[in-house]
Amino acid sequence: LLLGTGSNILSALQDLFWLSKSKVEKQLQIISVLQWVLTFLVMGIACTLILMYILCTDCWAIAALYLAWLVFDWNTPKKGGRRSQWVRNWAIWRYFRDYFPIRLVKTHNLLTTRNYIFGYHPHGIMGLGAFCNFSTEATGVSQKFPGIRPYLATLAGNFRMPILRDYLMSGGICPVNRDSIDYILSKNGSGNAIIIVVGGAAESLNCTPGKNSVTLKNRKGFVKLALRHGADLVPVYSFGENEVYKQVIFEEGSWGRWVQKKFQKHIGFAPCIFHGRGLFSSNTWGLLPYSKPITTVVGEPITIPKIDNPSQKEVDFYHSMYVDSLIKLFDKYKSKFGLPESEVLEVN
């Protein structure tokens, strides 16, 4: 009887322990996602203001030294950046991954003797899948594609902000401009993969749960870059990227859409009115994304010839080939990741 009672107590304590561990892990997941969201939204501005403040204090020499370093190091982002495997392997990214969770699915091998441009779709609000899969090692990108160095391309303006630029570079993030891409694809050897979120800010304006659409019809610059460098094109689709935030969609011609387009044209990004869940409850509104699964599928590479000055006809040909490949990728995997067979990818 005593043995049985002891076993029951031990079992109860063990259950309590595992429950406690589960709660702690969930809180760590929330903290890891929250720090990234705040980094995305305010780190650049906050670091700039802090640096300006320090210049006005007795510690001004520290800020002055950093600014001197910034001038010296200004062009580093255009030359592949300064990635850190230590930062990419931080445990916080594994908690970030498990919050949703995020998965990376490999469908084909990539040759280390080639360079690649990955077209990532859709943008979503913050490109959570793109960041987790290609700027960290949380989903094992280096193990799944050995010998391939991923570079996630983002707004060049981010690299003009102190501290933020260094943080981004440590994850292998580079500016999405011609100088940076040209350098990586022509002066950095082979085995490089630049991830470009092709739809950009325009695509983010239309993302909403339950909608699978991409802005791609008139986005051909990445194809021209691929042809100029002979870099193979790889379609990538993230199922669930649009599910993690809810957004107010302004109709074409409305004042809200006019403001968004003006920001997009002059600054490079479009302000979205969106919300996720609250910090302490999933039933309240807040900045935390909803914990919906995101599965990023890397498709089959399209072999691209090297043409120094590709004609518009050649660009159009390989662009249409890429669009067809992306649609086939979507159709092949949509039912495996929760979409009905009748779902169609909308290409705008």
The two tokens of residue 258 are 């006019």
> Can you tell me which residue has the tokens 């949380």?
138
Under 8 Å between Cβ of 205 and 123 = no
Beta-carbon contacts of 192 under 8 Å, excluding residues fewer than 6 positions away, are 115, 116, 148, 149, 151, 184, 185
- Give backbone dihedrals phi and psi of 4, rounded to 5 degrees, phi first: -65, -40
Question: Buried b / exposed e across 82-94, counting CB within 10 Å, b at 16+?
Answer: ebeeebbebebbb
In the chain, the amino acid numbered 34 is L
Strand stretches in the chain, DSSP E? 102-106, 116-121, 149-154, 173-175, 192-197, 213-214, 232-239, 246-247, 274-277, 285-286, 294-298, 346-347
Collapsing DSSP to helix, strand or coil, 23 comes out as helix
Nearest to 148 by CA among 122, 172, 125: 172
Walk along the chain (348 residues) and give the pLDDT tens digit of each residue: 344 444 555 455 455 555 567 788 999 999 999 999 999 889 999 999 999 999 999 999 999 999 999 999 999 999 989 999 999 999 999 999 999 999 999 999 999 999 999 999 999 999 999 999 999 999 999 999 999 999 999 989 899 999 999 999 999 999 999 999 999 999 889 999 999 999 987 888 888 899 999 999 999 999 999 999 999 999 999 999 999 999 887 777 777 777 777 777 766 666 777 889 998 888 888 989 999 999 999 999 999 999 999 999 999 999 999 999 999 999 999 999 989 999 999 999
The structural domains of the chain, with segments of one domain joined by +, span: 14-18+21-347
Measured between alpha carbons, how far is residue 327 from residues 35, 213, 307 in Å?
34, 11, 26
Inter-helix orientation angle 2-38/91-99, to 10°: 100
- Degrees, nearest 5: CA angle 124-128-134: 120
Q: Which residues pair with 104 in a beta bridge?
A: 296
- Return the pLDDT at 15: 54
34: region left, alpha or beta (phi > 0 left; psi from -120 to 50 alpha): alpha
Under 8 Å between Cβ of 311 and 336 = no
